[in-house]
Structures are given as structure tokens and as C-alpha cells.
Amino acid sequence: MGIARKFYSRWQNWFGLFIIIAFVLTAIFAPLLSPKHLETQEIPVQSYLRVPQPPGPGKPLGTLPDQSSVFDALVWGTRDALKFGVGVTAIVFLFGTLIGTLAAFFGGRVNKLLMWITDSFLAFPIIAGVVFFNQLNNTMLLNLLRETEFAGLPLDFIENSGVLESLSPLLSPLMKLNPAALAFILFMWMPYARVMNASVTRLKHVEFVLAAKTSGVKNFRVMSHHLIPNSLTPVLVMAAKDVGALVVLQTTFSFIGLGHPTPWAITLLSGRDWIFSPKGIVTYWWVFLPVTIALILFGIGWNLLGDGLIEAMNPRSTQD
């Protein structure tokens, strides 16, 4: 059975694909789905009302305590989630795959050294990396601010006041730098390197690669035309699963106050006090449920896609 037919023959794969496509479409058409986003952000309606409002006309999923629409956060958060997930995964994927392939191709001492470095990085908890880069970023920002008249003011105040561009040219990019993304890129490539390394090492001694080498094909071409394409499957599966996992992890970190706030995490955070009251989760369901479901579906969608790919591409797997 062909890979595509095998893939499409299971309903779980259809479900996963459907979820992902739905998220992608939401992200693309975000301006159409909730066009009022920018206006509502600037003019908080009835700001004296500090109670989350239930769904009603103009606010399809109700509002948060600060009267911003949950629906807006949901729709625009999809954009952020996809950008972060796909972007970071792509970089991690490229980096890890490259290291793994190079190490396996050269073999011997190089392989041992590179794989040792890979294993060493595996011992580093990612949360410490997020804290570390957050700290580094803050320190650099404050150092840059020290020479301006804004010295001593809190960072988020400066960020919101819109004077960034007039200050040091370095400030704005530093503010926008996402410490979580940086930490993920630095400490999440290892599994890719390991898996890629294992499959390339196995492939290296297979006849068609040896044939290519003996007929004088250049190293780079052997790698790019024979080794990499033939060992990509397992890492691709990992990447598919990682997109979901990274977004879930980022939202979690954002929820506990590490890294940049994402719309989904903000919704959960600002609704938290209303959920944590007697019967709060029943009364104020809209501050919790929509974002939770979105997050769970996001994780499940990519996970199902990954599982489906494994099943479909594994020649030994049988239909059950």
C-alpha cells in the first residue's frame, strides 16, 4: 500500500490533519475573523467593570476581567502559536539534523566528540535556559538604559510608552527577542542530532552510498543526495510532534511568568482568579474553556500527525 493511501486510511490522521488545517486557516484569516482586535485593545470598554462578561453580541466568547475579548485572544493567539511552533521547530530541526549528519558522516573521533556534546546538552533542563536568557536579556536592557534618562524605570513601562525607537538602536530588537525561543533553539536540537546520527551511521555502509562514494561523488553531494533524503523520516516525525509540544511548553512557561506573554497564556492568567473561586469554573467557563480546548487540540493535532506519519512510513506496520 502506498504511503499516502496508508496515511489517509486511518480516521485519526484525518482528524489530526483537520485540526491543523483549521488552526492554519484561523491564523491566516485572523483579521477577517476578529477585525476589531486593534480597536478593542486600545479602548477598553467600560473599564470600571472588572467582572468577566458572558458571551453576547460583539463578544462571541465573552470577555476577560479587563474587558478584552476572549475570542480575539483565541484567534490572534493562533497566529502567535503557529509562528512560534513552526519557526522554532524549523530552526531546531535544521540545526540538529545538520550536526547529526556531519558527525555520522565523518565518523570516528569527530562523531564521538559531537555526540558527547549532544549528550551533555541533554542534561540541561530547558526551564533553567529560559530563566537564564530572560535574565541576560533584562541585564543587557538595563545596561543600555543606564545611559538614558529612563534609568531606573520598570521595563514594561518603557515598553508600553512607545519611546523605544528614540533610544539606543539596540533596545528595540532586544525587547522583541524572545528568551523562550532562544532557550528552545539552544537546548532542543539534541534529539534530532541523535536520531539523525543513528540513521545516517546505519546508512553509511549500505551499498548505494558506498557505490556513490567509490564512483567519486563529492562528500557534500553524497550527504545531500543520498544520506539526508534517505534518513529524514524519523526526524520529520519528531518535528511534526514538536510543533505542538513546543507551543504547549511555551504557553506553560508564559503562564508561570517566564518568557514573553502569549495571548493564550494571558487569557488563562488573567482569568485564573475567577476560576479559582467556588463554582467559578462553572460560572465563568469562558475565561478557561476556549483557550484550554484550543491548546489541547493544538497539541493533539500535531501529535496525531506525527503518529500517522510513523505508521504510514513504516513498511513493517500492518493495518489494524
Partner 1 sequence: MSILRRFTFSILRSVLTLLLITLTLYATVMLTPPETLASLYMPRRTSPRMTEEMYQTMLDDMIDKYHLDDPFPVQYYYWARKLLEGNWGYSPNLQEDVFTGLVRRAPATLELTFYAMLIYFPLGLLSGVIAGTRKKGVADRLFRMTAFVATSLTPMILAIIMMVVFYITLRWFAPGRLGTTYALMVSAEGYKAYTGFVTIDGLLNQNPALSLDALRHLAMPALTLAFAQWAMLGRITRASIIEENEKDYIIAGRAKGLRERTLAWRYALGNAAAPVLTHSILSAASLMTNVFVVELIFNYPGLSTVGVKSLAFIPDAPSAVGFAIYSTVIVLILTTFLDFLKVVIDPRFREST
CB of 59 to partner 1, least distance (A): 23
Judge contact between 93 and 235, C-beta under 8 A.
yes
Cα–Cα distances (Å) from 188 to 7, 88, 102, 126, 192, in that order, read: 28, 10, 18, 8, 8
Instruction: Tell me which DSSP letter residue 148 carries.
Output: S
Contact map string, positions 34 to 73, toward partner 1, x by CB under 8 A: ----------------------------------------
The window from 21-29, 33-41, 43-51, 127-135 that contacts partner 1 (CB under 8 A) reads: 127-135
Provide the β-strand partners of residue 56. 59
Distances (CA, A) of 215 to 138, 207, 227: 55, 12, 16
239 class by beta-carbon count within 10 Å (0-12 exposed, 13-18 middle, 19+ buried): buried
171/260 Cα distance (integer angstroms): 16
Could you tell me the smallest distance in angstroms from the CB atom of residue 7 to partner 1?
19
Question: Which residues, numbered 265-284, are part of the site for partner 1 (CB under 8 A)?
Answer: 268, 272, 275-281
Considering only 3, 91, 117, 310, the residue that binds partner 1 (CB under 8 A) is 117
Count Cβ atoms below 10 Å from residue 186 Cβ, excluding itself: 16
What whole-number distance in Å separates Cα of residue 257 and Cα of residue 60?
A: 28
Question: Cβ 288 to partner 1, closest distance in Å?
Answer: 7
Q: Which three cell numbers stand for residue 218?
A: 563529492
CA–CA distance, 69 with 317 (Å, rounded to integer): 47
Pairwise CA distance, residues 73 & 82, whole Å: 14
The SS3 of residue 69 is strand
319 binds partner 1 (CB under 8 A): no
Q: By C-beta, is 102 or 300 nearer to partner 1?
A: 300
Near partner 1 by CB under 8 A: residue from 124, 159, 174, 233: 124
In the bound state with partner 1, the residue whose beta carbon lies nearer, of 135 and 219, is 135
In contact, 130 and 177? CB cutoff 8 Å = no
Taking the least distance from each CB to partner 1, the nearer of 23 and 226 is: 23
Q: Cell triple for residue 310?
A: 510513523
In the set 119, 206, 208, 261, which binds partner 1 (CB under 8 A)? 119
Site for partner 1 in 206-265 (CB under 8 A): 248, 251-253, 255-258
Nearer residue to partner 1 within complex by CB, 227 or 248:
248
**Torsional sign, CA 68, 71, 73, 75:** negative
When binding is defined by CB under 8 A, the residue of 9, 41, 120, 219 that contacts partner 1 is 120
CA dist 41 and 137 (Å) reads 27
What is the footprint of partner 1 within residues 128-157 (CB under 8 A)? 128-129, 131-132, 134-136, 138-140, 142-143
Residue 288 lies near partner 1 (rule: CB under 8 A): yes
Q: Residue 67 or residue 303: which is nearer to partner 1 going by CB?
A: 303
Residues that bind partner 1 (CB under 8 A): 116-117, 119-129, 131-132, 134-136, 138-140, 142-143, 248, 251-253, 255-258, 268, 272, 275-281, 288, 292, 295-296, 299-300, 303, 320
